[in-house]
Amino acid sequence: MEREQHIEVRPPSAGGNTEEYWLNMGPQHPATHGVLHLIVRLDGETVREVKPELGYIHRSVEKMAENLTLLQNIHLTDRLDYLSCHMNNHAVCMVAEQACDIGVPERAEYIRVIVSELQRIQSHLLWWGAFAMDIGALSAFLYGFAEREKITDIFERLCGARLTMNYFRPGGVAQDLYDGFEQDARQACSDILYALDEYQRLVTGNLIFQERTRGVGILSRDKAIGYGCSGGTARASGLDYDVRRDDPYGIYDRFSFDVPVATAGDCYARYEVRMEEMRQSVQIIEQALKDLPVGPIQAKAKPVLKIPKGLQVFRQVETARGSFAMTAIGDGTATPLRVSYRSPGFMHVAALHEMSAGFKIADLITILGSLDPVIPDIDR
């Protein structure tokens, strides 16, 4: 192979006598959180352009969804954002409930909120560890996983699975809580609060960490809206929007919780917002556990759920990453005519160039980590 084919030569940049070059980051790369493929134009260490290249793990999920019933679709959404599978399931269930007019028992609604919020914490813990690892603090990754494990164990006892839980059903949840769940959940919550204080001392207060994240990867509020960002990423840019509060679903309107908002829009702001979200989730869980009623966990529903012909149903939820929405159009049969998902990560990766152009290559990794991408969610 000729050397010239190996290194693509570009015209020199305006800045000086340097050559720009293209670098393929991924699909196999330790910092792309799975198999994201970034094509990066670099000038030395400085990033000039980032092009996310999707399609490496495209699975035609939306097309598959058209050939499956709504019930079968639930487990398919586990495989989108696998760290928010309860929330994804919730969106599908709400679509089915609205289309077929199914009511959800009180207890099931509370269980949904509790496991959703537990999973939000679980997802953020994994993000915290991975983000710290992207910056080079390797031990933090294991610390995050150690705490996450406690919640994963609860889920394993609850529904038998540790990652793709498939727990929600239209009209309720699959099984009732096991004996001792409430105690386990309370214990996990107090452990998380303790761990968060520890993380504060270990990573947040670290001078190197602050140097690496403050002022890096700034996304303005207008750009955040323009790119369709949501969740922690948008809230860190000053966009005060949370689906749980502003478009309440389930019984989220019964709980009091804060929506943390920062205005800086940099990696540190995104970090702070997500750390605070964990504390707020703990608050929601504690309120829900206090009010948890007894009763049925599953409403009576027809065995085959059909979306009426021509009916279009749109429901959105707040996952750990942002707003996840499902739109389904029915044709009167057991399978929907058209299903469309709106995943938060897709929009965030689109904004990656906006945030990282002009920063160093190490910052690109920091910025990508701060967006908390889950690749199967971006590339369906």
Partner 1 sequence: MSEPAVPSALEPASATETVAAPTSAIADWIRDLCGDQEWLAWVVITLIGLGALAALASVSAMVLVWMERKVSAHMQLRLGPMRTGWHGALQPMADGLKLLFKEGLLPRTTDLFSYLLAPFIPMATALLALAVIPFSETWQLADPELGIIYVAALSGMSVFAILIGSWGSNNKYSLLGGMRAAAQALSYEISLLLVLMTAVLMSGETAMQAIVQSQEGYFWNWWLIRAPGVGFIAFIAFIISATAELNRAPFDFAESESELTGGFHTEYAGMAFAMFFLAEYVHLLVAACLGAVLFLGGYLPPVPALAFIPGPVWLLVKAFGLVFLFMWFRWTFPRLRIDQLLNLEWKFLMPVALLNLLAAGALRGWGWL
Question: Residue numbers of the site for partner 1 (CB under 8 A)?
Answer: 1, 3, 6-7, 21, 23, 29-31, 44-45, 132-139, 142-143, 146, 202-203, 206, 208-209, 211-212, 360-365
Which of 104, 203 has the CB closer to partner 1?
Answer: 203
Amino acid present at 289: L
Smallest separation (angstroms) from partner 1 to the CB of 295 = 40
Instruction: Kindly tell me which of 18 and 190 has the beta carbon lying closer to partner 1.
Output: 18
- By beta-carbon proximity to partner 1, the closer residue of 102 and 140 is 140
CB of 118: closest distance to partner 1 in angstroms? Answer: 21
Those residues with Cβ within 8 angstroms of residue 122's Cβ, 6 or more apart along the chain or in another chain = 83, 148, 151, 152, 155
Whether 127 contacts 84, CB under 8 Å: no
H/E stretch holding 303 reads none
Write down the least CB distance from residue 269 to partner 1, Å. Answer: 18
Nearer to partner 1, 17 or 60 (CB): 17
Answer yes or no: are the C-beta atoms of 273 and 261 closer than 8 Å: yes
What are the helix (H) ranges across the chain?
Answer: 3-6, 61-66, 70-78, 85-100, 106-135, 138-159, 181-199, 207-213, 221-226, 231-236, 243-246, 267-291, 344-350, 352-356, 361-370, 375-378
Minimal distance, residue 213 CB to partner 1, in Å: 9
Q: Which is nearer to partner 1, 337 or 361 (CB)?
A: 361
Cβ proximity to partner 1, 279 vs 360, nearer residue: 360
Q: How far apart are CA 270 and CA 262, in angstroms?
A: 8
Nearer to partner 1, 91 or 130 (CB): 130
Q: How far is the CB of 233 from partner 1 (least distance, A)?
A: 20
Min separation Cβ 133 and partner 1, Å: 6
For the CB of residue 324, give the shortest distance to partner 1 in the complex, in Å: 27
d(CA 380, CA 112): 25
Rounded CA-CA distance 292/188 in Å is 17
Q: Give the separation between CA 212 and CA 256, rounded to whole angstroms.
A: 34
Please name the residue that has the structure tokens 């000086």: 16
Is the CB of 221 or the CB of 360 nearer to partner 1? Answer: 360
d(CA 116, CA 15): 50
Query: In whole angstroms, what is the distance from residue 313 CA to residue 291 CA?
Result: 30
Closest to partner 1 by CB, 2 or 101: 2
169-182 burial, b at 16+ Cβ within 10 Å, e below that, comes to: bbbbbbebbeeebe
Burial of residue 194 (CB within 10 Å: 0-12, 13-18, 19+) is exposed
CB of 322 to partner 1, least distance (A): 24
Q: Nearest-CA neighbor of 300 among 172, 115, 193? A: 172
Least Cβ distance, residue 260 to partner 1 (angstroms)? 23
Q: Which residue has the tokens 């959105």?
A: 316
Query: Inter-axis angle of helices 267-291 and 361-370, to 10 degrees?
Result: 20
Rounded least distance, CB 22 to partner 1, Å: 9
Closer by beta carbon to partner 1, 12 or else 44: 44
